Amino acid sequence: MESSLAAGFETPLVEMIAVAAVVVGVIVAFIAYYVRRRNVEQRRHAREDAQRYHELVQQCGLTPSEESVVGTLVQHLRRNTARHVLLQNQGVFNQAATLALEDGEISASQVSALRVKLGFTGKPVGMRPQSSVELPPGAALLIQKPRRAPVHAQVIEAQSDALRVCLDGPDTPLTDGSFVHVVYQNDAGVFEFDSAVLLRDGEEVQLQHAEEISGVQLRSHFRREIRIPVYVCSATCSDEAALSEFIDIGGGGASLENPGKRFSTGDTVELSFHPDGKRALNLIATVVRTSRSGAVLHVKYGNIRESSRDRVYRLLFNPPERE
């Protein structure tokens, strides 16, 4: 009786072990198949990536030294990002270049030259430029030499070794070797970078490329001589606005003619003008001083919204043509 009972238990146990062995075998076979397929796919992707990478290297005409820079950038790609994507996707390139520059593994000039070779010129990713190479042709610039008034210029094109720009006129204080501060504005804001004049030929200047561009935090220090009409009246009492004209204007203040020598130092005035051909812009300002025997007012804006300051700032880059 006992032996039959033991045999009854042994049979299910053997069957359970056999079933478990089959299940384990199936799982192991599935894992082996998955690993094999994954390795096959990885090798296929690697071959395709290598083929596409070499095709792009030939298309772009990269030199061995430029390929070496690419190799450095590849080390900063996110995991599972194919290296040929670095040569096609400007956003991926920017991310890798930022990390490589921060680590000091490559120079800014190497990155700028490679950008041009890859065709990443004149079109920033989004609205915020990361490199001077990304400034579009025709973009307006303000170029300032230390302790000198800013010079108006326009981008011609980005070359591998320099940014070509055209100055507003020949009588400007920019000479070969001059260190300059460059300001650029678009719909996303105002941006600045440091550069140097590599070569000047008349009104054309070649500027050193910059791979570090930041947003302007203080926008009150740039001014431009400009002549556009402005209506001015007292901000503290009701009187009729008088037609005047700006002499110069900036992000923090302006100079304008004093109509009838009506206003004096300390007065609070309201200025109304059209900086961009759109709706009128009204600003409250304080007369900080007068000059030319009271004929000219020098005013400082009060609390001004950044959106209003941006409209004034756009006027510095794109002044209206005088009739």
Per DSSP, helices labelled H in the chain are 2-60, 64-74, 83-86, 90-102, 108-118, 306-317
pLDDT at site 220? 61
Average pLDDT, the chain: 86
- Give the distance, in angstroms, between the CA of residue 62 and the centroid of all CA atoms in the same chain: 25
pLDDT exceeds cutoff 90 at 266: yes
Confidence (pLDDT) at 28: 78
State the pLDDT at residue 116. 94
Its CATH architecture, for the domain 132-215, is Beta Barrel (2.40)
pLDDT at 6: 52
Radius of gyration of the chain (CA): 33
> How far apart are the C-alpha atoms of 46 and 83, rounded to whole Å?
10
- Give residue 159's identity as a one-letter amino acid code: Q
Residue 260 has pLDDT above 70, yes or no: yes
- How far apart CA 21 and CA 34 sit, in angstroms, is 20
pLDDT tens digits, 200-217? 998 999 999 999 998 876
Distance CA 124, CA 131 (A): 8
pLDDT value of position 206: 96
In 234-248, which positions are buried (b, 16+ CB within 10 angstroms) versus exposed (e)? ebeeeeeeeebebbb
d(CA 270, CA 37): 75
Q: What share of the chain is helix, strand, coil (3-state, %, to 5)?
A: 35, 30, 35
Res 11 pLDDT > 70: no
| pLDDT reading at 125 higher than 80 | yes
Residue 7 has pLDDT above 70, yes or no: no
Of the pLDDT bands very low, low, confident and very high (cuts 50, 70, 90), residue 132 is very high
Q: What is the pLDDT of residues 43-75, one digit of tens each?
A: 777 788 788 989 999 999 999 999 999 999 999
- Residues pairing with 166 in the sheet: 154, 204
Whole-number Å distance between alpha carbons of 42 and 51: 14
Q: Distance between CA atoms of 148 and 157, rounded to whole angstroms?
A: 25
Model confidence pLDDT, tens digit, residues 163-197: 999 998 777 788 899 899 998 988 777 888 999 99
pLDDT at 276 over 70: yes
Helix axes 90-102, 64-74, angle to 10 degrees: 80
pLDDT tens digits for range 88-105: 999 999 999 999 999 999
Domain 223-317 listed as CATH 2.40.10.220: yes
Greatest alpha-carbon pair distance for the chain in Å reads 130
The pLDDT assigned to 321 comes to 58
Residue 316 tokens, joined = 């510095």
Domain ranges of the chain: 1-106, 132-215, 223-317
Query: Residue 42 has what pLDDT?
Result: 64
> Which comes out higher in pLDDT, residue 207 or 144?
207
pLDDT at 251 > cutoff 60: yes
Task: State residue 320's pLDDT score.
Answer: 63
Q: Which residue has the higher pLDDT, 244 or 17?
A: 244
Topology alike, domains 132-215 and 223-317? yes
Which pLDDT band, with edges at 50, 70 and 90, does 270 fall under? very high
Confidence (pLDDT) at 2: 52
At residue 66, the pLDDT reads 93
Q: Is the per-residue pLDDT at 218 higher than 70?
A: no
pTM over 0.85: no
Percent of the chain at pLDDT above 90? 51
d(CA 293, CA 202): 39
